[in-house]
């Protein structure tokens, strides 16, 4: 029973490895099982990453083929000295953090609700996942023009009907509005993973706990949440990776503005890569983004592993 509640932390994994005598049970060599994934991803990483690193040290502007040559650390220097970079990093962390919290909490709520028995449960489940099916650009357009627009949008009409002030979403709260759109897209992902996990919660364990007198909230915190720990971690890690690279929604709604308020690191790189066509600096930006993502991932693992260990 305990096995299902184990988490990923290295020390646990390691103790298993040490204590399981038949780690390489007859006929099961792990290497060939892992090989395809590892080799493919290695190639996928090395070739583009290698090229990006290479370009980041070159002067390479797509529109000016006559500019070439080794740039040393110039690209990085230009990028790091640029105030826009730090602002973009700050906005990125704000956006990712906010959306992560929103999706984990609301995803959990949705998963728990959908796990209950009620009429039309399976259809409701599909409807809840619908937001994830729509292309991000289309989502952003629908939100911006059909829902959030202060003159034409549905929200404006609802506000006016209720005599509430109309919120000018993208002018006054640009990053927050984008956060809402992205959170809406990703809550279904969290819901789906958490719901799948909930379904594997042993009913007998729940019944036993109920017999012992546990109700509602304490049942939730003592049985359900621990079971979901691993899934929550996975959702957090995967979402972080995706959220660190969103820029389509920003492009379509605010184009980074007003001012710099909704410019994130991916959007900044996009501007450099696709508007300036400065492949050299864009590559340097890419390397910075990778470093940032690795730092965030490391931080995330440390925090989550730390909390899980306490159990």
Partner 1 sequence: MTSAKRIVSWPFVLGWGVTFLMALPVLWMTLAAFKTEAQAIATPPVLLFEPTLENFAAVLRRANYPSYFLNSVIIAGGSTLLGIVVGLPAAYAFAFFPGKRTKDILVWMLSTKMMPAVGVLVPIYLLSRTLGLLDSAIALLIINMLINLPIIVWMLFTYFREIPGEIIEAARMDGAKPRHQFFFLLIPLAAPGIASTALLSFILAWNEAFWSINLTSWRAAPLTAFIASFSSPEGLFWAKLSAASLMAIGPIVVFGWLTQRHLVRGLTFGAVK
Partner 2 sequence: MKPDTCIKSAVLGAATLFSWQAMAQTQVTIATVNNNDMVVMQELSSKFEEENPDIQLNWVILEENVLRQRLTTDIATGGGQFDILTIGLFETPIWGERDWLVPFENVPADYDLDDVLQSVRDGLSTGGKLYALPFYAESQMTFYRKDLLDAAGETMPDQPTWDDIERIAAAINDPENDVYGICLRGKPGWGENVGQITPVANSYGARWFDMDWEPQLTSPEWKEALGRYVGLLREYGPPGVASNGYNETLALFAGGHCGIWVDATVSAGFLTNPDESKVHDKVGYAHPPVGKYEKGNHYLWSWALAVPTSSKSAEAAQKFIYWATSKEYIKLVAEHSGWASVPPGTRESTYANPNYIEAAPFAQLTFDTIQTADPTDATQEPVPYVGISYVGIPEFQSFGTTVGQEFAAAIAGSKTVEEALQAAQDATRTAMEQAGYIKN
Residues that bind partner 2 (CB under 8 A): 62-65, 67, 78, 82, 144-145, 149-152, 166, 168-172, 174, 253-261, 263, 271-272, 274-278
Phi/psi of residue 73, nearest 5 degrees: -95, 10
To partner 2, the closest distance from the beta carbon of 264 in angstroms equals 13
Tokens matching residue 153:
């949008």
Give the alpha-carbon dihedral of 232, 234, 239, 241, to 10 degrees.
150
Is residue 109 close enough to count as binding partner 1 by CB under 8 A? yes
Binds partner 1 by CB under 8 A, chosen from 85, 96, 102, 289: 289
Binds partner 1 by CB under 8 A, chosen from 34, 77, 225, 255: 34
Which residue intervals of the chain are DSSP H helices? 10-19, 30-56, 74-81, 83-115, 121-133, 136-141, 154-161, 169-172, 174-199, 203-211, 216-219, 225-243, 248-253, 265-270, 279-309
What distance in Å separates the CA atoms of residue 272 and residue 266, rounded to the nearest whole number?
10
Stretch that binds partner 1, among 74-82, 95-103, 129-137, 164-172 (CB under 8 A): 129-137
For 146-170, b where at least 16 C-beta lie within 10 A, e where not — what string?
Answer: ebbbeeebebbeeeeeeeeeebebb
Stretch that binds partner 1, among 72-80, 94-102, 142-150, 162-170 (CB under 8 A): 142-150
- Choose between 80 and 146: whose C-beta lies nearer to partner 1: 146
- Choose between 144 and 174: whose C-beta lies nearer to partner 1: 144
Is residue 297 close enough to count as binding partner 1 by CB under 8 A? yes
To partner 1, the closest distance from the beta carbon of 206 in angstroms equals 10
Contact 95, 182 (CB under 8 A): yes
- Choose between 150 and 214: whose C-beta lies nearer to partner 1: 150
With CB under 5 to 8 Å by kind, the binding choice for 4 among partner 1, partner 2, none is: partner 1
With CB under 5 to 8 Å by kind, the binding choice for 68 among partner 2, partner 1, none is: none
Stretch that binds partner 1, among 71-79, 167-175, 213-221, 231-239 (CB under 8 A): 231-239
Is residue 48 close enough to count as binding partner 1 by CB under 8 A? yes
Phi/psi of residue 200, nearest 5 degrees: -90, 5
What angle in degrees, to the nearest 10, is found between the helix axes of 279-309 and 225-243?
A: 170
Q: Which of 239, 244, 248, 255 lies closest to 138, judged by CA?
A: 248
Nearest 5 degrees, angle CA 83-CA 86-CA 89?
145
Is residue 299 close enough to count as binding partner 1 by CB under 8 A? no
Site residues for partner 1, 54-83, by CB under 8 A, read 55, 62
Distance, first Cα to last Cα, the chain: 16
Tokens matching residue 28:
């099961």
Stretch that binds partner 1, among 68-76, 163-171, 211-219, 292-300 (CB under 8 A): 292-300
With CB under 5 to 8 Å by kind, the binding choice for 283 among partner 1, partner 2, none is: partner 1
- Choose between 71 and 192: whose C-beta lies nearer to partner 1: 192
- Choose between 174 and 179: whose C-beta lies nearer to partner 2: 174
């Amino acid at each position: 029973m305990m096995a299902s509640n184990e988490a990923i932390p290295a020390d646990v994994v390691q103790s298993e490895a040490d204590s399981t005598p038949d780690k390489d049970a007859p006929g099961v060599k792990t290497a060939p099982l892992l090989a395809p994934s590892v080799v493919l991803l290695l190639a996928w990483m090395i070739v583009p990453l290698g090229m990006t690193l290479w370009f980041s040290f070159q002067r390479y502007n797509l529109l000016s083929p006559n500019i070439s040559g080794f740039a040393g650390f110039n690209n990085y220097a230009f990028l790091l000295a640029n105030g826009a970079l730090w602002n973009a990093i700050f906005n990125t962390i704000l956006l990712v953090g906010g959306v992560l919290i929103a999706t984990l909490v609301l995803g959990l709520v949705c998963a728990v609700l959908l796990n209950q028995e009620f009429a039309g449960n399976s259809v409701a489940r599909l409807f809840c996942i619908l937001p994830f099916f729509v292309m991000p650009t289309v989502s952003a357009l629908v939100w911006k023009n059909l829902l959030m627009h202060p003159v034409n949008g549905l929200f404006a009409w609802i506000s006016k009907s209720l005599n509430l002030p109309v919120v000018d979403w993208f002018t006054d709260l640009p990053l927050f509005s984008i956060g809402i759109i992205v959170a809406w897209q990703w809550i279904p992902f969290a819901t789906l993973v958490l719901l799948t996990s909930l379904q594997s919660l042993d009913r007998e364990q729940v019944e036993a706990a109920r017999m012992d007198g546990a109700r509602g909230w304490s049942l939730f915190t003592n049985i359900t949440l621990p079971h979901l720990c691993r899934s929550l971690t996975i959702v957090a890690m995967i979402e972080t990776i995706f959220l660190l690279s969103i820029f389509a929604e920003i492009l379509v709604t605010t184009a980074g503005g007003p001012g710099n308020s909704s410019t994130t690191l991916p959007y900044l790189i996009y501007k450099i890569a696709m508007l300036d066509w400065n492949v050299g600096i864009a590559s340097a930006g890419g390397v910075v983004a990778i470093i940032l993502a690795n730092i965030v991932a490391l931080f995330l693992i440390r925090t989550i592993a730390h909390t899980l260990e306490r159990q």
